[in-house]
Structure 1
């Protein structure tokens, strides 16, 4: 599935997007265990979700999906 990153980013910067991100993160934080210096991979556009990871020193890889023509 391809998403327009700029629209996606605008949504998560809006008040509704911030509220949704807070709700999701409060539910998921207790299940996310990331250790220091661990490498995390995201498929698609994972930048808005980096806030869900506890503040640790990590490396991350983002795999972008190619849009089919």
Structure 2
């Protein structure tokens, strides 16, 4: 396993541990715990509440093949 793959795996496990800890804690509401632990989660929730998530999505068309070096 490469060093970057190993670091990605460690980061994913840390995120999973944080999600489990936040979701199983009994201190305050889930929204409060999530916003304390993950500040960008709160910003995303506020943007969606403000209606920014209601824009139609423009999906990209077919993908183009890219030669790998």
| TM-score, with structure 1 as normaliser | 0.31
Which has the bigger relative contact order, CA under 8 A and spacing at least 6? 1
| TM-score, with structure 2 as normaliser | 0.31
Which structure has more helix as a fraction of its residues? 2
Which structure has more strand as a fraction of its residues? 1
